[in-house]
Amino acid sequence: MALINSAAENNITFVRPAYFIISGFIGIPNIRYYFVFLCFIYILAVVGNTLVMIVITLDRMLRSPKYIAVFNLALTDLLSSSALVPKVVDIFLFNHYYISYNACLTFMFFCFTLISMQAFNLVVLSFDRVMAIMYPLHYQMRVTQKLILSLIAFFWLLAITLILIAVGLLTRLSFCKSVVIQSYYCDHGPMYRLGCNDNTPNHAFAGLSPVIILGFPLAFIMGSYCCIGYSLSKISTFRERVKAFKTCTGHLSLVAIYFLPFTFVYIFGSVIHPNARIINLSMSTVLPPMLNPIIYVLQTQEIKESLKKLLKTRVTSKIHTASYAVLC
């Protein structure tokens, strides 16, 4: 109750604005071409992730726990791109800079929840890889569909809870000075700094949430690959080590694509130009959903084989249909 009434206690009139103004990408020449580029990335992300989900759904051989996690990753990538890119393009390409208070908080909730789930999905895939390499003979007994689904459900619940707390803390702030958000979307940090009353809980949560959403997943993934490295060192032949490690290359690529840009922004965000930070952060959020399906199609043999089989079946079906039509 003390937190909720902080504005009143400090003799500040509680102000909940009708709208916010998104003011990112200011003063960048030819920025409209960047938004066209974002549209192109979005189309590729939608096509790629939809294709991965269709392949996994149609091929019974891909109903294993690993591909349940891959399906969830593709679904999260599709939803995160759809939550962010169309709205950003609408704001800046069509000059709709004003966004209502409730719409802004909703926009933030979906964007942050889905971006958080991308990191948690990589944890699930990392867990799958470490179990497959450390316990190859018992993998199917230890890693079941039920276990993977339980992990995925837990991480969805965790992401939703964390972001609901962040959004809930924002609702106790009074915005009596400015409603201009210095970012390309309803970003949590720039928003809570606009508050007139005590924003200590928001500041504390803003410091804690990256540790939970980025720090812990990255630490778990690094620890899992230490275990994988130790297990591979006990394999007698170099060829078998390479063969086992190749099953991890796709996941390692996804980890690098997701974590490196965010790590760069959080380390150097205070010293680089605000526009450079905004562009870097926007690319960090839109590129992984586009690249993830490409990496998994190119680096995962099972998906490549399944895609070839589905395409071959479709072509054969068309040939049979055409032949039947000619005979009739």
In a domain, 192, yes or no: yes
Quote the pTM value: 0.87
User: Which domain does 27 fall in, by range?
Assistant: 19-305
81 contacts 46 by C-beta, under 8 angstroms:
yes
Largest CA distance in the chain: 87
User: In the sheet that 98-100 helps form, which strands lie side by side, from edge to edge?
Assistant: 98-100, 19-22, 180-181
21 membership: H or E segment, kind and range: strand 19-22
Which run of H or E residues covers position 68? helix 65-93
- Tens of pLDDT, residue by residue over 269-280, are 667 777 778 888
**pLDDT (tens digit per residue) in 230-281:** 888 887 788 888 887 887 888 888 888 889 888 887 777 667 777 778 888 8
Asked if the structure places residue 4 within a domain, the reply is: no
Structure token digits, residue 139:
């993998």
Confidence category of residue 7, pLDDT binned at 50, 70, 90: very low
Q: Among 219, 217, 213, which Cα is nearest to 113's?
A: 213
CA distance 321 to 324: 5
> For residues 56 and 275, is the Cβ–Cβ distance under 8 A?
no
On whether residue 62 sits in a domain, the answer given is yes
* The total number of structural domains that make up the chain: 1
pLDDT at 3 exceeding the cut of 50: no
Q: What value, to the nearest 5°, has the Cα angle with vertex 269 and ends 263 and 275?
A: 120
Whole-number pLDDT of residue 120: 96
**What digits encode the pLDDT tens for the residues 194-204?**
999 889 999 99
Q: Name which residue leads in pLDDT, 169 or 60.
A: 169
Distance CA 277, CA 23 (A): 14
CATH number (domain holding residue 55):
1.20.1070.10
Domain contains 324: no
Strands 98-100 and 180-181: unpaired
Per-residue pLDDT for 9 more than 50? Answer: no
- The pair of structure tokens assigned to 101 is 């208070």
Which pLDDT belongs to residue 8? 44
Cα separation, 293 vs 307, in Å, equals: 12
Q: Quick check: is 171 in a domain? A: yes
C-alpha 94 chain-centroid distance: 26
Q: Please report whether residue 321 resides in a domain.
A: no
d(CA 207, CA 214): 11
Residue 269: its pLDDT value, please?
A: 67
